[in-house]
Every structure is written in structure tokens, then in C-alpha cells.
Amino acid sequence: MNDLASRPLRLGILGAANIARAFTAGVAPSKVVTVAAVASRDTGKAEAFARECDIPRSVGSYEALLADPEIDAIYNPLPNSLHAEWSIRALEAGKHVLCEKPLAMNVGEVRAMFAAATKAGRHLVEAYPYRAQPQTLKLRELLAEGAIGKVRLIRSSFGVAFSDPANIRLIPDVGGGSLLDAGSYSVSLALLAAGERPARAHAMAAWGETGVDLSVAATLVFPSGALAQISSSFATAFHRHALIAGDAGWIETTYLNHPPMGGPPVLSIRRGTTLGIPVETIEVAGGNGFLAEAESFRDMILEGPSRWTGATPEQSVDIALTLDAIARSARSGATVDLAA
Ligand SMILES: NC(=O)c1ccc[n+]([C@@H]2O[C@H](COP(=O)([O-])OP(=O)(O)OC[C@H]3O[C@@H](n4cnc5c(N)ncnc54)[C@H](OP(=O)(O)O)[C@@H]3O)[C@@H](O)[C@H]2O)c1
């Protein structure tokens, strides 16, 4: 992989997943990252997917992809219940891993994944395309420079409608449920805005017929005293929105993966505490989040972790701890202290 500066990073995809179609199309214009192969449990499916998505090679098993010396890194868009197993197997096979969110089913799996990455000397990161967007980079810059003062209240929500019982999102055994899916976005944004891991979580859920949570609303309490309300749903019209209110102003963001699809790539900000202060609209560049994310992943492999715009390993552990606490609270009705 020493020659990565002079050739594209060769990605292999585990599973002919729906999201892998969009990922491959998004990454296609890149000069520094290429999708070189796709693996499916079914050879015919792998071949058809490769033809459809213009991927040069296909293989009929995940093991064959991991054994391929012409693959530098793996994109893992398997169902949530398989993220840990196959990311660890990929790391043990010497591949770097870009794994779809949520990184795993629980924080125990997440920690085992990072331990495997450290042992293998390879990078493992969680895919949140919005984190690579100029919109999010600008948001982080504004928060860091204190543009809205100390963050006190956060509200982040992501909802979308799913009703097909065959969709993995509605199947408990493969890690379905709105919290792990859309909720991982709301939680990741809230933790990014707070800049720390919550101390406590209290949550309520509405349960669907298949046994997964269809909607979740949770309150998070941060050590700084900041509070967040996060929500996720599989039973609403598409919406994705966050308000971050500080003691000296507020920011609203759509934190979209691929703006302007479904919304404008803008941040709204009021720099001040009173109603009379005009709200500014900051226009930011949009674009395909998969492309920006994949190129940041490649830059990290070549030049080190500072080139990765997404969640750090510590932040991914914090996201997983928070998701675990919300899930436990939603089931028990009790307020849950986050484990250390
Ligand atoms: N970042 C984003 O914007 C975004 C968006 C959507 C989804 N995602 C994430 O991406 C992952 C996949 O989502 P998706 O909607 O693309 O899923 P999907 O279309 O159902 O694809 C999942 C793939 O996993 C493989 N698989 C292996 N074992 C399976 C099993 N027991 N049941 C079902 N599939 C199995 C299948 O590939 P083969 O049959 O070819 O082996 C299948 O095509 C999830 O973790 C989700 O959270 C992320």
C-alpha cells in the first residue's frame, strides 16, 4: 500500500446492498478512490451488481473479497448485526475498513472492533457522510470559535418512512429499529454539538408490529449541564434537522448527507441573544457525501488520522455508549447512567 500516493485506493464492497449502489455512484468521479470489486453471498447477484454499477470485478463470497491482495480497504454496508463480525474479519485480513453506521449493535462490539484495528495496524471508521460535508465542517468551526457561546440546548431529529416488512430496518434479528438507523445520526450530531459524551439518558419509544422501535425520543444530559433532545423515526415524512442553542446565539442545520438533495446546503445562525438580531444564512458548498467521505478515508490512510473528517474512534465509542443507554432506557422506562 506504500504506492497509494501514485494510484487510487482500491475499495471492495461487502454485499450487494442498496446503499452500496448509491455509494458506488457517489465515489465514481473520484481520481483517488475506486470501487474495484463487490462481493455477494450469491455469485450471480455479485455479477449483476458489478455490471449494473460498473465495478470491474465481482466475487461470490465475502471471504474471497477479504483474501484479494488487489483490495486495499473494505466498505461494509451489511446489516447492522454483521458489522462487527465482518469488519473484524476484514481488519484481520489486513484491510482498512469504512463501516456503515451504526458501527455495531452495542458498545462491546464497537470496542472489540477498535481493538482488532489496533492489533492489525489498520484504520476503522464509521460512515456518516454528513460529517464530510462543508456544512458540517463549517458548523464545527462556528462552534469552536464560540459563535453561539456555550452550547446549552440541542435538538436533533431524523425521520423517514419504511413499511416493507422485508426491509432489514424492520427486522429485529439483523439489528433493525429507528434508533440504530436514523437515531445514530441524531445522536452523532448531538454529541458533535455538545463536544462531549452524555452522562445520562432518558428515552421513550413507540414499538412496531415486528418488534423494532418505530420512533424514539430521548433526553440526554451532558456533564457541562447542556441538554439534548434527540429523536428518530421510521413512521414520519422525511425530515432531518437540528437546532443548537448556546448562551450567545443559535445555529440550525439540516446535516444532510448529500445536499442539496432534499434540502438546501445552508446553516442559519443568530449571533446574539435577542429576537431583533437578524438571522444570517451561511451558504456552503454541497455535493455527494460519499465522495467526500471516501476521499477523506483515503487521505487518512495515506497521511494519518488528522485527515479524517468523520467521527474519531473515541467519538464512535461515545455514540455507541449513548445508543446503548437510550435503548436500555426506552425498554425499562428508567433514566440510565452511561457506562464509563
Ligand atoms: N450512510 C447512509 O447514508 C446509509 C444509508 C442507508 C443505509 N445505511 C447502512 O447501510 C447498511 C445496509 O443498508 P441497506 O439499506 O443498503 O441494506 P440492504 O439493501 O438490505 O443490503 C444489505 C446487504 O447485506 C447482505 N446480507 C448479508 N446477510 C444478510 C441478511 N441476513 N439479511 C439481509 N442482507 C444480508 C446482502 O448482500 P448479499 O446478498 O449480496 O450478500 C444485502 O444486499 C445498514 O447498516 C444501514 O444502516 C447507511
Query: How confident is the chain (340 residues) per 10-residue block, as mean pLDDT?
Result: 88 98 98 98 98 98 98 98 98 98 98 98 98 96 98 98 95 98 98 98 96 98 98 97 98 92 80 95 92 98 97 98 98 91
- Rg value, the chain, Cα: 20
CA of 328 to the centre of ligand 1 (A): 25
**pLDDT value of residue 165:** 92
Q: And the C-alpha cell for 313? A: 474512534
pTM: 0.97
| Residue 26 in contact with ligand 1 by CB distance below 6 A | no
Strand 9-14 relative to strand 73-76, pairing: parallel
| Residue 284 in contact with ligand 1 by CB distance below 6 A | no
**pLDDT value of residue 187:** 98
CA of 105 to the centre of ligand 1 (A): 14
Q: Which residue among 42, 85, 89, 100 has the greatest number of ligand 1 atoms within 8 angstroms of its CB, and so is best to mutate?
A: 100
- Cβ pair 247, 150 in contact under 8 A: yes
Active site residues: 101
**pLDDT value of residue 264:** 66
**pLDDT value of residue 66:** 98
| Residue 84 in contact with ligand 1 by CB distance below 6 A | no
| Residue 65 in contact with ligand 1 by CB distance below 6 A | no
**pLDDT value of residue 1:** 63
Strand 266-271 relative to strand 151-161, pairing: unpaired
Q: How far apart are CA 16 and CA 303, in angstroms?
A: 30
| Residue 17 in contact with ligand 1 by CB distance below 6 A | yes
Q: What are the structural domains, with CATH classification, of the chain?
A: 2-127 (3.40.50.720), 131-290+319-337 (3.30.360.10)
The protein residue whose alpha carbon is closest to atom 11 in ligand 1 is: 77
Q: How far apart are CA 142 and CA 45, in angstroms?
A: 46
**pLDDT value of residue 263:** 65
Between the alpha carbon of residue 240 and those of residues 61, 64, 130, 231, the distances in Å are: 36, 38, 11, 10
Residue 173 burial by Cβ neighbours in a 10 Å radius (0-12, 13-18, 19+): exposed
Residue 149 burial by Cβ neighbours in a 10 Å radius (0-12, 13-18, 19+): middle
> What is the number of the ligand 1 atom nearest to the C-alpha of 167?
20
